[in-house]
Amino acid sequence: MGTELELEPYLERVERAEGLEDIQTLIVALRDHYHIAHIVYHWVSSDGEQYGCGTYPPVWVQRYVDQDYLRIDPVVIGCFQRFHPVEWKRLDWSGKQARAFRADAIAHGVGNQGFSIPIRGPNGQFALFTVSHDCSDAQWADFTRAHQRQLILIAHYFNLKALEFEQNRLQEPARSLSPREIDTLTFLAMGYSRGQVADMLSISEHTLRAYVESARFKLGAMNTTHAVARAISEGLIMVGSATRGAAGDWPGRSAPRQATGTGR
Amino acid sequence: MLRYLHGNQLDAYPVLRDSMFRDRATQFHDRLGWDVTVDARGQERDAYDDLDPLYVIWEGEGGRHGGSMRFLPTTGRTMVNEHFLHLTDGVAIQSPFIWECTRFCLAPTAESRVAAALMLAGGELMRAFHLSHFVGVFDARMVRIYRLIGSSPEVLGQQGSGRDMVAVGLWEYSHASRARILLRAGLSSDLSEAWFNRAFGQETAMQAAPLQMSA
């Protein structure tokens, strides 16, 4: 596992990244370089918005959001209060939910080993950079020992980029949505399908798509899910508790999916 | 013994927690006369205690606080970057390899080896997590204490002079001094490793650098 990475050219590529798609490409390249199962960058804001880039199978990403695993994932819970790199083995997996979550993750190919680097950014921003693999404890210890410093550096470079993207977004003029756009995003955030939302608003799905598209554009979001997450985080729409309602987006997924907030 | 505790773990050690915050009041408010907030229970806390910092605490007899310090990553919110930028020409010190160290405190009754033990712990954190430096704010009266324990910082910037001096300093990691500090703390390398390992589940010598056991 893992020869030494030529760090400088790699970090230069990170610096040149212009969007999450570039970060995604860089993560795949890094994973392939290390010959490990997965690498993921995961942003979790204090209001529950999350998004990520990485190599997890889209099915697992979808399942993570659908099952609301963010709320029970020992990696997220454990790392949120720490700022040093964390071995997954050291986290509290004793609870029934945590054990079931771990089994599910392994079944989805995440790997039996993991190492996460919590990142604290300005104003309470939080992100996680994670590498995972399927191997023995000894092999994994060798890998993390050899690459820890490099991984910390790369993790923070990714985060700086994410913050830069975020700042570009925040510096845009204050956004406002029309009442129809707000209705649309609110119902999508509550978990209704496009067809259902169109029915509830007495409009065609075609028209609904136009509302979604304009809202997406105004919010500078890449797709519907992202638009919903942003609308929630900016307080443009309100759905239950923000944490439950927010939905994340993962570049590289095959098709845009429905918002998964439950609105319970 | 040395304990490494995150903010959210403190409540599991109420005696240690309360005596630490009381000793902090004694040192920073009563003795050094800093403008800090002491609550009705005689405990000194500030906003950074709410950010889940990492505390390194020497636990003495009866589970009481013997000495401590507090760490936060400089990529997040820190005292230096939020309140003392004027001492560093407005340059925010931010790096994943630099942590802020504040509230270095010794209990009034602490033996001299406690300060050395805390220094040792700082070194263990640096060694394990590849940290190059700690950054922190200190005043004139701390200069003597740091010199006494053989850990004087490099001054990045300061204001005032004499007793009114306030400075931002950098402590660099020195691998060579570990053996010397172990001696002064009266602790074995294995014991220190064991305490660290219990808290973090890893050896401190992650980078597998050869140990210079010159002392």
Would you say A14 and A154 are in contact if contact means Cβ atoms under 8 Å apart?
A: yes
Q: Each residue's pLDDT tens digit in chain B (215 positions)? A: 999 999 999 999 999 999 999 999 999 999 988 889 999 999 999 999 999 999 999 999 899 999 999 999 999 999 998 999 888 777 778 888 899 999 999 999 998 899 999 999 999 999 999 998 899 998 888 888 788 777 888 888 889 988 888 999 888 877 778 888 899 999 999 999 999 988 987 655 544 333 333 33
Whole-number pLDDT of residue B25: 98
Chain B partners within 8 Å of A84 (Cβ):
54, 125, 128-129, 200
Whole-number pLDDT of residue A230: 78
Binned at pLDDT 50, 70 and 90, residue A239 comes out as low
Whole-number pLDDT of residue B174: 77
Whole-number pLDDT of residue A220: 62
Do A141 and A231 belong to one domain?
no
In a domain, residue A62? The reply is: yes
Q: Does the pLDDT value for residue A2 go beyond 80?
A: no
Do A165 and A72 belong to one domain?
yes
Which of B52, B76, B201 lies at the smallest CB-CB distance from A81?
Answer: B52
Query: Is B75 within 8 Å of A159 when comparing Cβ atoms?
Result: yes
Domain boundary among A170, A191, A215: A170
CB pairs under 8 A between A and B: 56
Q: With residue A40 as reference, give the H or E element that holds it.
A: strand A38-44
Secondary structure (3-state) at A56: coil
* Residues A9-53: tens digit of each pLDDT: 898 899 889 988 999 999 999 999 999 999 999 988 766 677 889
Q: Give how far B47 is from chain A: nearest CA, Å.
A: 13
Do A133 and A203 belong to one domain?
no
Determine the residue of chain B that is closest to A147 in CA distance.
B207
Q: What is the DSSP string of chain B?
A: -EEEEEGGGGGG-HHHHHHHHHHHIIIIIIIS-----B-TTS-B--GGGGS-PEEEEEE-GGG-EEEEEEEEETTS--HHHHH-GGGGTT-----TTEEEEEEEEE-TT--HHHHHHHHHHHHHHHHHTT--EEEEEEEHHHHHHHHHTT-PPEEEEEES-GGG-EEEEEEE--STTHHHHHHHHT--HHHHHHHHHHHHSS-S-TT-PPP----
Tell me which of B5, B49, B75 to substitute to probe the interface with A (most A C-beta atoms closer than 10 Å): B75
Which CATH number characterizes residue A91's domain? Answer: 3.30.450.80
* Residues A188-217: tens digit of each pLDDT: 888 888 898 888 888 778 677 777 776 776
**Rounded Cα–Cα distance for residues A140 and A85 (Å):** 14
Range ranked top by mean pLDDT from A105-114, A232-241, B106-115: A105-114
Chain A partners within 8 Å of B129 (Cβ):
84-85, 152
Name the token pair of A221. Answer: 């979001």
Determine the residue of chain B that is closest to A156 in CA distance.
B96
In a domain, residue A148? The reply is: yes
Q: Does the pLDDT value for residue A257 go beyond 80?
A: no
Whole-number pLDDT of residue A177: 75
Q: Give how far B201 is from chain A: nearest CA, Å.
A: 6
In a domain, residue A77? The reply is: yes
Q: Does the pLDDT value for residue A75 go beyond 60?
A: yes
Which of A81, A120, A123 lies at the smallest CB-CB distance from B7?
Answer: A81
Domain boundary among A170, A195, A219: A170
Query: Is A83 within 8 Å of B76 when comparing Cβ atoms?
Result: yes
In a domain, residue A259? The reply is: no
In a domain, residue A261? The reply is: no
Do A69 and A149 belong to one domain?
yes
Determine the residue of chain B that is closest to A122 in CA distance.
B76
Domain boundary among A170, A204, A224: A170
Determine the residue of chain A that is closest to B197 in CA distance.
A90
Do A134 and A225 belong to one domain?
no
Total domains, chain A: 2
- CATH fold group of domain B2-200: Aminopeptidase (3.40.630)
Q: Give the burial class of A122: count Cβ atoms within 10 A of its Cβ; 0-12 exposed, 13-18 middle, 19 or more buried.
A: middle
Whole-number pLDDT of residue B212: 36
Chain A partners within 8 Å of B202 (Cβ):
87, 90
Determine the residue of chain A that is closest to B75 in CA distance.
A121
Domain encompassing residue A210: 179-245
Q: Does the pLDDT value for residue A256 go beyond 80?
A: no
More reliable by pLDDT, B206 or A186:
A186
- Domain chopping of chain B, boundaries: 2-200
Which CATH number characterizes residue A203's domain? Answer: 1.10.10.10
Whole-number pLDDT of residue A1: 64
Q: Does the pLDDT value for residue A262 go beyond 80?
A: no
More reliable by pLDDT, A234 or A145:
A145
C-alpha distances in Å from residue A96, one per residue of A4, A70, A84, A101, A102: 39, 15, 26, 9, 10
In a domain, residue A128? The reply is: yes
Q: Does the pLDDT value for residue A255 go beyond 80?
A: no
Name the token pair of B118. Answer: 């805390």
Query: Is B201 within 8 Å of A89 when comparing Cβ atoms?
Result: yes
Whole-number pLDDT of residue A264: 36
* Residues A42-74: tens digit of each pLDDT: 988 766 677 889 999 999 999 998 998 988 999
Do A29 and A114 belong to one domain?
yes
* Residues A131-149: tens digit of each pLDDT: 999 999 999 999 999 999 9
Do A75 and A25 belong to one domain?
yes
Q: Please list the residues that pair with A132 across neighbouring strands.
A: A38, A114
Query: Is B130 within 8 Å of A148 when comparing Cβ atoms?
Result: yes
Per CB distance under 8 Å, which residues of A are interface residues toward B?
Answer: 80-85, 87, 89-90, 119-125, 145, 148-149, 152-153, 155-156, 159
Do A204 and A99 belong to one domain?
no
More reliable by pLDDT, A255 or B50:
B50
Query: Is A120 within 8 Å of B73 when comparing Cβ atoms?
Result: yes
Q: Give how far B99 is from chain A: nearest CA, Å.
A: 10
